[in-house]
Amino acid sequence: MEFPFWSKDIETMDRARLEQLQLQRLRDIVGYALKTPFYQKRLAKVWIHSPDDIKTLADLRKIPFTVKDDLRQSYPKGLLAVDMEQVVRVHSSSGTTGVPTVIYYTRDDLNRWTDLLARGIVASGATSKDIFQNMMSYGLFTGGLGLHYGAERVGMTVIPVGGGNTQRQLQIMKDFCTTALHITPSYLLHIHQRMAEFGIKRSELALRRAYMGAEPHSETTRQKLQDLYQIDIFNCYGLSEMNGPGVAFECCCKSDPHVWEDGYIVEIINPVTGEPLPDGEQGEVVFTNLIRHALPLMRYRTRDLAYIHAEPCPCGRTHRRLSRIQGRTDDMMIINGVNVFPSQIEEVLMSIPEVGNNYMIYLSTHEGLDRLTVKVELYQKLFTGDLSQIDSLKGKIKDKLRASITINAHIELHEPGSLPAFEGKAKRVVDERIRL
Amino acid sequence: MAKQLTIFLENRPGRVKSICDVLQQAGLNIWAFTIQDRGEFGLVKLIVDKPSQAQLVLAERGFACALKDVLAVTAPDQPGNLSKLGTALLQKNVNLKDAYGFVSPSDKQGICFLEVQNNDGVDIAALLTEQGFRLMSDEELYEL
Interacting residues of A427 by C-beta distance below 8 A, sequence separation 6+: none
Which CATH number belongs to the domain containing residue A7 in this structure?
3.40.50.12780
Q: What is the pLDDT of residue B143?
A: 66
In this prediction, the residues of chain A whose per-residue pLDDT falls under 50 are none
Same domain, B29 and B60: yes
Would you say residue B139 has pLDDT above 80? no
Phi/psi of residue A365, each to 5°?
A: -110, 130
Bin A119: left if φ > 0, else alpha if -120 < ψ < 50, else beta.
alpha
**Comparison of pLDDT for A423 and B120, the residue scoring more:** B120
Same domain, A357 and A391: yes
Single out the residue in B39, B69, B99 at which a domain terminates: B69
Name every chain B residue with its beta carbon within 8 A of the beta carbon of A384.
Answer: 66
Same domain, B74 and B138: yes
Same domain, B27 and B88: no
| Complete DSSP assignment for A54-107 | --SGGGGGGSPPB-HHHHHHTTTTTT--S-GGGEEEEEEE--SSS--EEEEEEH
Q: What is the pLDDT of residue A99?
A: 74
A389 touches chain B (CB under 8 A): no
pLDDT in tens, A111-156: 999 999 999 999 999 999 999 999 998 989 899 999 999 999 999 9
Report the domain count for chain A.
2
State how far the Cα of B20 lies from the Cα of B58, in Å rounded to an integer: 10
Phi/psi of residue A379, each to 5°?
A: -85, 115
Name every chain A residue with its beta carbon within 8 A of the beta carbon of B41.
Answer: 390, 413-415
- Which candidate from B10, B62, B68 shows the least CB-CB separation from A385? B68
Query: Does any domain span residue A347?
Result: yes
DSSP state of A308: B
Same domain, A307 and A388: no
Phi/psi of residue A334, each to 5°?
A: -120, 115
Q: Give the 3-state secondary structure of residue A220.
A: helix
Q: What is the pLDDT of residue A1?
A: 67
Same domain, A177 and A233: yes
Name every chain A residue with its beta carbon within 8 A of the beta carbon of B4.
Answer: 385
State how far the Cα of A207 lies from the Cα of A407, in Å rounded to an integer: 28
HSE on the CB side for A224, CA within 13 Å? 12
Q: What is the pLDDT of residue A133?
A: 98
The overall longest dimension of chain A from CA atoms, in Å, is: 73
Single out the residue in B52, B69, B86 at which a domain terminates: B69
Judged on CB neighbours under 10 Å (0-12, 13-18, 19+), A84 is exposed
The pTM of the whole model exceeds 0.80: yes
pLDDT in tens, B36-76: 999 999 999 999 999 999 999 999 999 999 999 999 999 88
B73: which strand partners? B112, B135
Single out the residue in B44, B69, B94 at which a domain terminates: B69
A306: which strand partners? A283
State how far the Cα of B2 lies from the Cα of B47, in Å rounded to an integer: 8
| Range of the structural domain that residue B58 is part of | 2-69
Same domain, A424 and A371: yes
| Range of the structural domain that residue A127 is part of | 1-329
Distance, in angstroms, between B9 CA and closest chain A CA?
6
Same domain, B60 and B88: no
HSE on the CB side for A240, CA within 13 Å? 24
- Which candidate from A378, A387, A412 shows the least CB-CB separation from B64? A378
State how far the Cα of A413 lies from the Cα of A361, in Å rounded to an integer: 12
Q: What is the pLDDT of residue A266?
A: 98
Same domain, B63 and B74: no
Percent of chain B that is helix, strand, coil (3-state, to 5): 30, 40, 30
Query: Does any domain span residue A45?
Result: yes
* H-assigned helices in chain B: 15-25, 51-60, 81-91, 124-130, 138-142
Same domain, B53 and B34: yes
Same domain, A138 and A117: yes
A111 touches chain B (CB under 8 A): no
Is A416 in Cβ contact with B62 (below 8 Å)? yes
Single out the residue in A297, A329, A361 at which a domain terminates: A329
Same domain, B54 and B74: no
| Complete DSSP assignment for A110-169 | HHHHHHHHHHHHHHTT--TT-EEEE-SPPSSSHHHHHHHHHHHHHT-EEE---S--HHHH
HSE on the CB side for A276, CA within 13 Å? 14
Give the mean pLDDT of B101-117.
88
Report the domain count for chain B.
2
Distance, in angstroms, between A414 CA and closest chain B CA?
6
Same domain, B89 and B119: yes
Q: What is the pLDDT of residue B144?
A: 53
Query: Does any domain span residue A218?
Result: yes
| CA trace torsion A187, A191, A193, A195 (10° rounding) | 180
* Amino acid code (one letter) for A250: E
Q: What is the pLDDT of residue A95?
A: 66
State how far the Cα of A113 lies from the Cα of A128, in Å rounded to an integer: 19
Is residue A188 within 8 A of residue A209, CB to CB? The reply is no
Is B40 in Cβ contact with A378 (below 8 Å)? no
Single out the residue in A286, A306, A329 at which a domain terminates: A329
Same domain, A233 and A381: no
pLDDT in tens, A6-43: 999 999 999 999 999 999 999 999 999 999 999 999 99
Is A417 in Cβ contact with B43 (below 8 Å)? no
Which CATH number belongs to the domain containing residue B98 in this structure?
3.30.70.260
Q: What is the pLDDT of residue B134?
A: 87
Same domain, B39 and B57: yes
Name every chain A residue with its beta carbon within 8 A of the beta carbon of B40.
Answer: 412-413
Same domain, B33 and B20: yes
Is residue A262 within 8 A of residue A274, CB to CB? The reply is no
Distance, in angstroms, between A358 CA and closest chain B CA?
13
Same domain, B77 and B98: yes
- Which candidate from B15, B36, B65 shows the least CB-CB separation from A383? B65
Percent of chain A that is helix, strand, coil (3-state, to 5): 35, 25, 40
B113 touches chain A (CB under 8 A): no
Is residue B44 within 8 A of residue B98, CB to CB? The reply is no
